[in-house]
Amino acid sequence: MAASAESTPNFIRINHRDAQSFATALLTASGVSPKNAQITASGLVQADLRGVESHGILRLPSYLSRVRNGVLDPAAEPTLTQITPVVAQVDGRNGFGFPAAHLGMSTAIEMARVFGIGMVSVKHSNHFGMSAWIVKQAVEADMMSLVFTNSSPALPVWGGKEKLMGVSPIACGAPGGKKEGSKPFILDMAPSVAARGKIYKALRRGEKIPTDWALDGEGKQTDDPAKALEGVMLPMGGPKGSALAIMMDVFSGVLSGSAFAGGVTGPYDMSKPGDVGHFLVAIKPDLFMSLDEFRERMDVLYQKVVNSEKMHGVDRIYFPGEIEQLNEEQRLKDGIPYAKEEIDALNQEAEKLGVDKIPLTE
């Protein structure tokens, strides 16, 4: 769907550096420190580069609205408490989720370098965008990782009909092999049929959604994103998706001391702080063999997966995260496509803050 949308005339391509500079300027003008603004803007633009526009810079209007409504502290600096040599906790202090998550994974990586594994629980945080950017942070440090978070209620437990669990992504990763064409393993998926951010994106773009994504307020299937947002998301695999959403709440919410059991406030809700929890783990991949041997084994796995016999109608098999990496490679060259309406919404934020509008690629 993204590929066909990008070819339509009302899409405008923006250079990724310009997108990041623009996002950074909006954030600093809103009271975020230059360092934290860079971290946040980078996480958002990485999502756009990977084709996950639902978690890209188009999140900024809702984030900044939360700042203006006093329910997100732009100047907050996350703090770190070392619990044991391999366990730490970050307090996000109701600031942007990106700096809290970045500090958490950086700390987990440093512990793993020394002790083989590092675990960080993050409390009192906010939405941190696409989980894959944190997985990439670990992969680029030659680390395996787990990245969990909880989120605001959008999903019923299996057998229920009320919003209780979040559409909380499950993410993990591992460095890839060294052979040409080999890709790292990066899994980032929601326990629902589709991420809720995709429904917001469809709403912004005036698009319909597949009828198996969500139910409306009356419990009926719908292709209308506005009606879907009045109802509930549907878990993937029925009770399996529901159980995975509960798992995210246990590890991210219950364990951290953050909100849980439907208590997280979403990024589009201006009523109170998010109080999101995260759970981050970094693992040194050369604990049981050399890093070179680990990478060779990842090469074998990659080749086995992508060269599997294809079912009828399938042209190519991809490794988890590979499609997104190919998107990134293309968009680094060609720019990131945004709908005109999305550019207009971003420029409205710029006008409010006295920041230059986003530069358009000629």
pLDDT of 5 higher than 50: no
pLDDT of residue 233: 87
Residue with tokens 């079912």: 311
- Per-residue confidence band for 171, with pLDDT thresholds at 50, 70 and 90: very high
- HEC readout, the chain: CHHHHHCCCCEEEECHHHHHHHHHHHHHHCCCCHHHHHHHHHHHHHHHHCCCHHHCHHHHHHHHHHHHCCCCCCCCCCEEEEEECCEEEEECCCCCHHHHHHHHHHHHHHHHHHHCEEEEEEEEECCCCCCHHHHHHHHCCCCEEEEEECCCEEECCCCCCCCCEECCCEEEEECCCCCCCCCCEEEEECCECCCHHHHHHHHHHCCCCCCCCEECCCCCECCCHHHHHHCEECECCCHHHHHHHHHHHHHHHHCCCCCCCCCCCCCCCCCCCCCEEEEEEEECCCCCCCHHHHHHHHHHHHHHHHCCCCCCCCCCCCCCCHHHHHHHHHHHHHCEEEEHHHHHHHHHHHHHHCCCCCCCCC
Question: Which tens digits make up the pLDDT trace of 47-91?
Answer: 999 999 999 999 999 999 999 999 999 999 999 999 999 999 999
pLDDT of residue 109: 98
Tell me the average pLDDT across 331-355.
96
Question: Which tens digits make up the pLDDT trace of 113-166?
Answer: 999 999 999 999 999 999 999 999 999 999 999 999 999 999 989 888 789 999
pLDDT of residue 362: 52
Percent of the chain with pLDDT over 90: 82
Taking the C-alpha atoms of residue 135 and residue 171, their distance in angstroms, rounded to an integer, is 7
Question: Which tens digits make up the pLDDT trace of 191-214?
Answer: 988 877 788 888 888 899 999 898
- Per-residue confidence band for 361, with pLDDT thresholds at 50, 70 and 90: low
pLDDT of 1 higher than 80: no
Q: Regarding predicted confidence, which is higher, 232 or 23?
A: 23
